[in-house]
Amino acid sequence: MSYRPLADEIRPTTLDEVVGQSHILGQNGLLRRIIESGSIPNLIFYGPSGTGKTTVANLIAKRTNRPLHRLNATTASISDIKDIIADIGTMLAPDGVLLYLDEIQYFNKKQQQSLLEFMENGKITLIASTTENPYFYVYNAVLSRSTVFEFKPLEGSDVVPAILRGLEYMARRSETPLTWEDGVVEHIAQACGGDVRKAMNAVELLSGAARVTEEGRRITLEDARMAAQRSAMRYDRAGDDHYDILSALQKSIRGSDPDAACHYLARLLVAGDLVSACRRLMVIACEDVGLAYPQIIPIVKACVDAANMLGLPEARIPLGDAAVLMATAPKSNTGHIALDLAMADVRAGKTGDYPRHLQNRHADSAGLEREQGYLYPHDFPHHWVEQQYLPDALVGTRYYTYGENKTEQAARRYWEEIKGKGGSR
């Protein structure tokens, strides 16, 4: 008998055995009602690995009388699709086929388009799964003919029933009594990062390597910790998780939460992504702290330089300083907002000629520089003199508004006193 992984051996046979996903598979969940109706449309399942996408596809196959074909887009080709299409209408598939296409994001446009005609006439019912956002990776023609269901990451508590089922199955198969210490189930559930497949792999490994005792074999919490270390990390530098962690890091610092900032930075560093962590911290310094604490930019730059010089694991020390400092610093986005507004005007064609007195002297004939009319601010009290700087077409335009933080308000008061304008803008 050939070997089958535990995850396949005890794969759920009913919807009630599928862990999590109550939002779509609960008693009144839409996907459950679709499956129970037996009338299956084209479907796209989107979510992390190990959250039940393949399991649900198998359960759907049981509700239809169509032959089930499985393809993985990482290895399948056009010829594999042609072989499936060739069966349609024959004795092998008189009423069409159910095609489960895993990792559809790896199919190019031509490969995806080859399915369209048969999806349209109902000869192929497509159930595709992807770990990436389908609205980015699945072509519109396929997407418009399908219903998308998101499979959400599982919590540790969601995975506990599956782990218990796996341990009990391994105990029944064991020639000697198999037991486990208190805390083993909970630790595996927490460490698997919401991936049932990872949890089942850990159960199988620990069951096979259980310690021999006088009473039989026993899985210890120490072994569970060793087997499951770092397995909770879900991170793909080219996938959605990469951008989600970076986004969460920036939003946590912007929201002045140093604990969340440390958490998301830790996830980047444990995954070894020093480059992305450094780059994003520099962006945050300029975008979210900015003029409220102008010294933050050279400080974070120094931390980033130190981190790159040290490398991991020591790089965590200056980067931790940078993250906590920015999370607890005052915030301002006025500088880059002002520039964004100015760039929008430039892109819209709102420019105009440079004021004559701002042009470079090369525009003047030799000896006629004074005709330019430029007033040199350093020759005046407080190094300021009133003159026009914006083009004629933009005179009076305001891009920058002083932030409410102490630094920018001090600058506002300083210039209001010198310029004698009073009031704020």
CATH number at residue 169: 1.10.8.60
Residues 141, 165 within the same domain: no
The answer to whether residue 400 scores a pLDDT higher than 50 is yes
Q: Tokens at residue 389, please?
A: 């700087």
Q: Are residues 58 and 42 in the same domain?
A: yes
315 is a domain residue: yes
Mean pLDDT on 81-89: 79
Peptide bond into 161 cis (omega under 30): no
Higher pLDDT, 23 or 368: 23
Amino acid at 365: S
Instruction: Say yes or no: 106 and 169 in one domain.
Output: no
What rounded mean pLDDT belongs to the chain? Answer: 85
Position 197 in a domain: yes
Q: Is residue 353 part of a domain?
A: no
- Highest-pLDDT range among 92-96, 271-275, 358-362: 271-275
For the segment 382-387, the average pLDDT, to the nearest whole number, is 90
Verify that 141 and 39 share a domain, yes or no: yes
| Residues 58 and 122 reside in one and the same domain | yes
- Choice between 188 and 67, residue whose per-residue pLDDT is larger: 188
Q: Does residue 382 surpass a pLDDT of 60?
A: yes
The pLDDT of residue 364: 52
The one-letter amino acid code at 388 reads Q
| Model pLDDT, residue 423 | 40
Within a domain: 11: no
Residues 108 and 168 in one domain: no
Q: Are 106 and 181 within one domain?
A: no
Locus of tokens 């962006």: 283
Q: What is the pLDDT of residues 219-270, one digit of tens each?
A: 999 988 887 655 555 555 555 677 888 999 999 999 999 999 999 999 888 8
Tokens 């418009």 locate to 144
pLDDT at 279: 93
CA distance 253 to 287: 11
Based on the domain organization, do 208 and 123 belong to the same domain? no
CATH number of the domain at 135, please.
3.40.50.300
- Give the domain extent around 142: 21-150
Q: Is residue 423 part of a domain?
A: no
Q: What digits encode the pLDDT tens for the residues 331-352?
A: 999 999 999 999 998 888 888 8
Instruction: Please check the confidence at residue 397 and state whether its pLDDT lies above 70.
Output: yes
Alpha-carbon gap, residue 386 to 12, rounded angstroms: 77
Are residues 245 and 222 part of one domain?
no
Q: In this predicted structure, what is the pLDDT of residue 424?
A: 41
Mark whether 99 and 216 lie in a shared domain: no
- Number of structural domains, the chain? 3
pLDDT at 265: 94
In a domain, 1, yes or no: no
The count of C-alpha atoms lying within 13 angstroms of the C-alpha of 221, restricted to the half-sphere facing its C-beta, is 8
Domain membership of residue 420 (yes or no) is no
User: ∠ at Cα 263 (259, 268), nearest 5°?
Assistant: 145
**pLDDT confidence of 209, banded at 50, 70, 90?**
confident
Question: Do 176 and 256 belong to one domain?
Answer: no
Where a domain ends, among 312, 328, 344?
328
User: Are 90 and 170 contained in the same domain?
Assistant: no
Q: Whole-angstrom Cα distance, residue 208 to residue 217?
A: 9
* CA 125 to each of CA 76, 130, 137, 190: distance values in angstroms, whole numbers, following the listed order: 18, 16, 19, 36
Does the residue 305 lie in any domain? yes
The pTM of this model reads 0.58
Which residue among 297, 328, 359 closes a domain?
328
Query: Which tokens in the block code for residue 43?
Result: 């479907």
**pLDDT of amino acid 422:** 41
Which range scores top for mean pLDDT: 113-117, 136-140, 180-184, 235-239?
Answer: 180-184
Last residue in a domain, options 175, 205, 228: 228
CATH of the domain at 312: 1.20.272.10
